[in-house]
């Protein structure tokens, strides 16, 4: 069974498991297992968290910050890139016209900002479809992400793109959760919280720690509304927290047309 198939199997089991006191330990285990499998997709060789995009995707970084354009094929990313930077990025009505990272530069108050026009991604990108892993790996290194959406179907596309980025360890418009997990030599698990645990209980916490073979640790939760996913993110330690802006593009198929 492939990693993607194992992920689907766990997601299906989670979907049919109703969360309550009796199932919280099991759900915690499932979430931890799911995170470990997704880590294999991010960095299958065990390396550093998917930092590089590979040949044709990595580019020399310039300027004081980088902005990545992420979206489905033919939503007008290349047109927007050309308008902003004057850099030619191939535009066509054909999907997947942009096949590599195309860099450009725009100055904001005199400061050079690097713009990266990334190839379009598709649903399943985080699992490797359509070279999506390389594209999202570059997005992970950006200081800001522009998510370009088709104005005719923005909400559905927005949800899919966010899910793909989330699956690759990118947290959009979020900050790292105020959770500390400090491993120790002995003494078992000690859990303290300075805020009410409304979305997470101690059974779930212990199940997650057990799945990661953490038997002795001090866990301090200071995040209001902390979830099992937040705890998993802290333990995994390879998440990136990137601000994002959403752009509704009225340009069909990436070809500029006048708007009256």
Express each pLDDT in 35-92 by its tens digit: 998 888 776 554 444 445 444 456 777 889 999 999 988 888 888 888 888 776 554 4
Between helices 202-211 and 228-236, what is the axis angle to 10°? Answer: 30
Q: What is the mean pLDDT of the chain?
A: 83
Residue 17 confidence (pLDDT) above 70:
yes
Give the pLDDT score at 27: 92
Instruction: Identify the pLDDT of residue 251.
Output: 56
**What percent of the chain has pLDDT above 70?**
81
Across 132-137, average pLDDT: 81
Provide the token pair at 199: 């979305």
CA distance 75 to 117: 12
Choice among 7-11, 59-63, 86-90, 105-109 with the minimum mean pLDDT: 86-90
The token pair at 60 is: 């020399």
The DSSP string of the chain is: --HHHHHHHHHHHHHHS--STTTHHHHHHHHHHHHHHHHHHH-TTS-SSS----TTT-----SSEEEEEEESTTSSHHHHHHHHH-------SSTT---S-EEEEEEETTEEEEEEEPPP--TTGGGTGGGHHHHHHHHTT-SEEEEEEETTSHHHHHHHHHHHHHHTTEEET----SEEEEE-SSS-EEEEESS--SS--HHHHHHHHHHTT--SEEEEE--TT--HHHHHHHHH---EEE-EEEEEE--GGG------
- pLDDT of 154 over the 50 cut: yes
Query: Does residue 93 register a pLDDT over 90?
Result: no
Question: Which has the higher per-residue pLDDT, 140 or 93?
Answer: 140
| Predicted local confidence at residue 88, as pLDDT | 61
Q: Which carries the bigger pLDDT value, residue 88 or residue 255?
A: 88
Whether 66 and 113 have beta carbons less than 8 Å apart is answered as yes
> What percent of the chain has pLDDT above 90?
52
pTM of the model: 0.78
pLDDT band at 146, cuts 50/70/90?
Answer: very high
User: Among candidates 249, 258, 213, 208, which has minimal Cα distance to 28?
Assistant: 208
Render pLDDT for 221-231 as a digit per residue (tens, 0 to 9).
999 999 999 99
Distance separating alpha carbons of residues 69 and 144, to the nearest angstrom: 9
On the question of pLDDT at 26 being above 90, the answer is yes
Distance CA 100, CA 131 (A): 10
**Rounded Cα distance, 98 and 119, in Å:** 5
pLDDT of residue 218: 98
User: 233 is written with which tokens?
Assistant: 């993110």
Hey, which residues does 65 pair with through a beta bridge?
113
pLDDT of residue 229: 94
Domains and CATH numbers, the chain: 3-42+177-238 (no CATH), 65-174+241-254 (3.40.50.300)
Give 167-209 pLDDT, tens digit per residue: 889 999 999 999 999 999 999 999 999 999 999 999 999 999 9
Longest dimension (CA), the chain: 70
Alpha-carbon span 206 to 202, nearest angstrom: 6
Higher pLDDT, 216 or 94: 216
């Amino acid at each position: 069974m492939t990693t993607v198939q194992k992920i689907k199997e766990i997601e299906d089991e989670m979907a049919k498991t109703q969360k309550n006191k009796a199932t919280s330990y099991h759900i915690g285990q499932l979430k931890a297992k799911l995170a470990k499998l997704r880590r294999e997709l991010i960095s299958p060789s065990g390396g550093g968290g998917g930092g590089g995009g590979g040949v044709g995707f990595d580019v020399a970084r310039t300027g004081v910050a980088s902005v990545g354009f992420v979206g489905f094929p033919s939503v007008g990313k290349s047109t927007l890139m050309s308008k902003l930077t004057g850099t030619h990025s191939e535009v066509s009505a054909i999907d997947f016209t942009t096949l590599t990272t195309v860099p450009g530069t725009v100055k904001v108050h005199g400061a050079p900002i690097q713009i990266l026009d990334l190839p379009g991604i598709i649903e399943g990108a985080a699992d490797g479809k359509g070279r999506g892993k390389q594209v999202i790996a570059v997005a992970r290194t950006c200081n800001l992400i522009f998510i370009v959406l088709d104005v005719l179907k923005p909400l559905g596309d927005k949800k899919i793109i966010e899910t793909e980025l989330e699956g690759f360890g990118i947290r959009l418009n979020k900050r790292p959760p105020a959770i500390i997990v400090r491993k120790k030599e002995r003494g078992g698990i000690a859990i303290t919280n300075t805020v009410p645990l409304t979305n997470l209980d101690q059974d779930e916490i212990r199940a997650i720690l057990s799945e990661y073979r953490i038997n002795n640790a001090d866990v301090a939760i200071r995040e209001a509304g902390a979830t099992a996913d937040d705890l998993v993110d802290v333990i995994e330690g390879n998440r990136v927290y990137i601000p994002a802006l959403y752009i509704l593009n009225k340009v069909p198929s990436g070809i500029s047309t006048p708007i009256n």
